[in-house]
Amino acid sequence: MFNEIPERNLASWNLLIGGFSDRGELDAVKHSLEIIPQRDFISWNSLVAVYVQAHQLDQAKAAFDELPQRDWSSWNLLVSGYAQTGKLQTAAQWFGRMPQWNVVSWNALIAGHAKHGVESIALNLLSSMSLEGVIPDSTTFSSVLAVYSHKGMLAACREIFGLMVRDHWIDPSLQQFCGVVDALGRSGKLSEAEELASAMPYLPNRAVCNALLGACNIHSDVTRGGRMASCAVDVAPSSGTSYVLLSNMSS
């Protein structure tokens, strides 16, 4: 399709290069940058992004250093790359060098600390973010909730969920409800977990049903597990996960 465009401009080239970058096609990105008639920071950011996606952070930094122009995305890509791979000190250093921050910058740093088990710093960053006048968004809370939920840190989940709803007036997503349901279940509060799943303003999906079913498996609640298995089969009849969980509980 690109070859059929009669007059290719910078925007069309950037779309092509961005597509290669999103798919992790490093060689295609590099070749396109060699033959493109002109480049801007969007073009160059695609090269940084594809290196970050491949966790080739030394190459990402080298590409960043050669950028003739930088914008928020350029900086955020590096911060996110270091944070997601656990190089938290380096991520914080790059964050500190940024001329200014936006919500994506903060989200990258918060998500990295939450993912790699430094929950106290993640929460401190969340507070600092607000003090700096940057308003957290749904993504901010989702990244923290997901990690706390997986670790069964119920108190932290409740704190973050309450902060999101009470202080920031963000309507919780299905994914965020699922995180709290999962944390309740892992903590053995199966009745509360089931009640929340029934009360939330969404129909339970496979993730919610399997979170409840998994909790029933952990805590040997066969009766409730049967109900949750029926729920999971109703929403995703072709998924084998529910059958495996129920089989494990019955054995």
pLDDT in single tens digits along all 251 residues of the chain: 444 444 555 566 556 666 666 676 766 766 666 656 566 667 778 878 888 988 999 999 998 998 888 889 999 999 999 999 999 999 999 999 999 999 999 999 999 998 898 888 988 998 899 899 999 999 999 988 988 888 888 998 998 899 899 989 999 999 999 999 999 999 999 999 999 999 999 998 989 988 998 899 889 888 888 888 787 777 766 555 555 555 555 55
Of the chain, the percentage scoring pLDDT greater than 90 comes to: 44
Nearest residue to 180 (alpha-carbon basis) of 206, 208, 221: 208
In whole angstroms, give the CA distance from residue 41 to residue 22: 16
Sign of the dihedral defined by the CA atoms of residues 147, 150, 151, 156, in that order: positive
pTM of the complete model = 0.75
Nearest residue to 79 (alpha-carbon basis) of 67, 87, 91: 91
pLDDT at 31: 62
Q: Is 55 left (phi over 0), alpha (psi -120 to 50) or beta?
A: left
Domain spans in the chain, listed from the N-terminal domain onward: 1-69, 169-250
In whole angstroms, give the CA distance from residue 205 to residue 201: 12
